[in-house]
Amino acid sequence: MPYRAPVSEFRFVLDQIVGLQQVAETALFAEATPDTVEAILSEAGKLSETVLAPLNRAGDKFPARLENGVVRTSPGFAEGFRAIAEGGWVGISANPEHGGMGLPMAVTTAVNEMMGSACLALQLNPLLTQGQIEALEHHASPEIQALYIPRLISGEWTGTMNLTEPQAGSDVGALRSRAEPNGDGTYAVSGQKIYISWGDNDFAENICHLVLARLPDAAPGTRGISLFMVPKFLPNPDGSLGARNSLSVVSLEHKMGLHGSPTAVMQFDGAKGWLIGEEHKGMAAMFTMMNNARLGVGVQGVSVAEAALQQALAYAQDRKQGKTPLGATSIIDHADVRRMLGVMKAETFSARAIALACAVAIDMARATGSTDWQARAALLTPIAKAFGTDIGHEVAHLGVQVHGGMGFIEETGAAQFSRDVRVTSIYEGTNGIQAMDLVGRKMMDGGEAAYRLLQEIEDHARNSRANLPDLAGDVWAAAEALREATEWLVAQSADDRNAGAVAYLRAFARVLGGHYHLKAALADAARLPLARIAIRRLLPEHAALLAQLREGAADLYALTPEALAS
């Protein structure tokens, strides 16, 4: 069934749950008035429904392919990308001085979710370019900014991230690509990069590769990495394109899903590049790009969850099978199907609210410079990424299940959601890496940012007891259990933290989800049944997760590879 953009749902979450108002009250985002946000969401929703959604199946059936070194994209993708760029959606959060709309990340997040629901493989392209624009805004010279950003915003050029090498995946510090000074301020970049999403395409005039590489005098590990802009065609100062750079697409991967997005092996052979940011500080610059890309990937999970939910719901209403006490025979009236749909809806709401809360924190940090908001954004980013993508998988999985036998048939589209979303738990840092980020780097404040957030949740629950005593009590108790677990966590060794990292992250997401559902039920009584599903059925998982956390690493290391193999 055709995708329908959930514009009013975004309005509800933005206004009632995550507090977009406070963002609009800052000077930086004063233009994000309710009317503007409404207009933006409607417009992006229309594009997603009418232009992008019809491309999704073609992207799957006719993958991008490599012909004589040139990537040929899926049918309709060029037109779809053109429509995205012309709508201004690449530059929605970019600085207006380069042609961006300067809107809050919270709005961009909603827009990205809709485009991703409609056609995830194509949406990944502007998502990457958005990240590149942000990295350039923060780290590039004014000349580079002026040359690149307007063309990335307009869609004339597109951007990629080149981190991974065959021996350097999660361990980026192991990368070997080299950059030699050319003596004229530019560098000759050489090396092979893998898993380069949208490493090439046939609809942009230029492909702008941000490449991590080592200078000759670089230290080993992550401290010896620098960032370079390495364009496919060398631009003249006026933006016209000169010679072809010494880089090529070696091959495209044959993937489980996301076929419309070409995943390239890139070869750089002394390609001309420009240093972005300082020498040896490439990781810092890349982290700017990655942090928001992590939120963006988490949102991709929400995208798929929403689309899979819509399709499963339509199928469950349409499909007749058996009889129930309600008299009707659509499968939606069977308790277990209703349960699956309810879980899908509740989880999608939670993941979306977490993502938008993270986006609001990013906006507030940017608009106010508040370190508290910075810490909040940093804390929520790995949760938004890992939980959003896990939920994307789980909801798509349930979506297939609701379809029964039809779910396994590719023509239905349910299977594609399940295949496409699978990579989101892996790229931009696997969900395990996200969890380790949460229990490691994000707890270097001794848990302060976590405690502050949990205090807000507990205060809200306490204040809600008069209205919804049982739900508020459950949320309060879960937040308190999480606080105690956090106190335990920050006192543990890195190994013990890491052993429980995935469980801890999910427990945190469960508490956040319960909190947001409680808020929703208080704001709109019609949302009470969904909140009950989230809080009474899903939230209790936190206890099992925290039990896992407290097991630490000892048992895991006692389980030898020999015992695993026998």
Active site residues: 428
Among 85, 188, 499, 522, the residue binding a second copy under the rule CB under 8 A is: 499
List CB contacts of 551: < 8 A, sequence separation 6 or more: 499, 500
CA–CA distance, 351 with 297 (Å, rounded to integer): 12
Does 431 participate in binding a second copy (rule CB under 8 A)?
Answer: yes
Ranges within 241-260 binding a second copy (CB under 8 A): 253-257
Least distance (Å) between residue 252 CB and a second copy: 11
Partners of 210 in the beta sheet? 161, 229
Q: Measuring CA to CA, which residue among 505, 497, 502, 510 is closest to residue 550?
A: 497
**Between 96 and 540, CB nearer to a second copy:** 540
Taking the C-alpha atoms of residue 362 and residue 134, their distance in angstroms, rounded to an integer, is: 13
Residue with tokens 């059925």: 537
* 8-37 residues near a second copy, rule: CB under 8 A: 8-9
Q: Measured from the CB atom, is 170 or 463 closer to a second copy?
A: 170
Strand partners, 241: 235
Answer yes or no: are the C-beta atoms of 206 and 234 closer than 8 Å.
no
Closest CB 431 distance from a second copy, rounded Å: 7
Q: Which amino acid is at 20?
A: L
| Using rule CB under 8 A, residue 563 touches a second copy | yes
Using the minimum distance from each CB to a second copy, give the nearer residue, 105 or 121: 121
Indicate the residue among 272 and 334 with the shorter CB distance to a second copy: 334
CB 454 within 8 A of CB 487: no
**Interaction of residue 278 with a second copy, rule CB under 8 A:** no
Q: Is 345 in the site for a second copy (CB under 8 A)?
A: yes
Residue 223 is a binding residue for a second copy (CB under 8 A): no
Q: Does 533 bind a second copy (CB under 8 A)?
A: yes
* 367-426 binders of a second copy (CB under 8 A): 393, 397, 400-401, 404-405, 407-411, 415, 418-419, 422-423, 425-426
Q: For a second copy, which stretch binds (CB under 8 A), given 19-27, 43-51, 113-121, 553-561?
A: 553-561
Strands 263-276 and 247-252: antiparallel
CB of 544 to a second copy, least distance (A): 4
Q: Toward a second copy, which CB reaches closer, 212 or 415?
A: 415
How many residues interact with a second copy (rule CB under 8 A)? 94
Query: Which residues in the 284-323 window bind a second copy by CB under 8 A?
Result: 309-310, 313, 317, 320-322
Tokens standing for 8? Answer: 């009013």
The whole-angstrom separation of Cα 69 and Cα 199 is 12
For residues 473 and 484, what is the distance between their CA atoms, to the nearest angstrom?
17
Q: Residue 152, Cβ neighbours under 10 Å: how many?
A: 27
Residues 271, 207: contact at Cβ < 8 Å? no
Q: Which of 54, 99, 342, 440 binds a second copy (CB under 8 A)?
A: 342
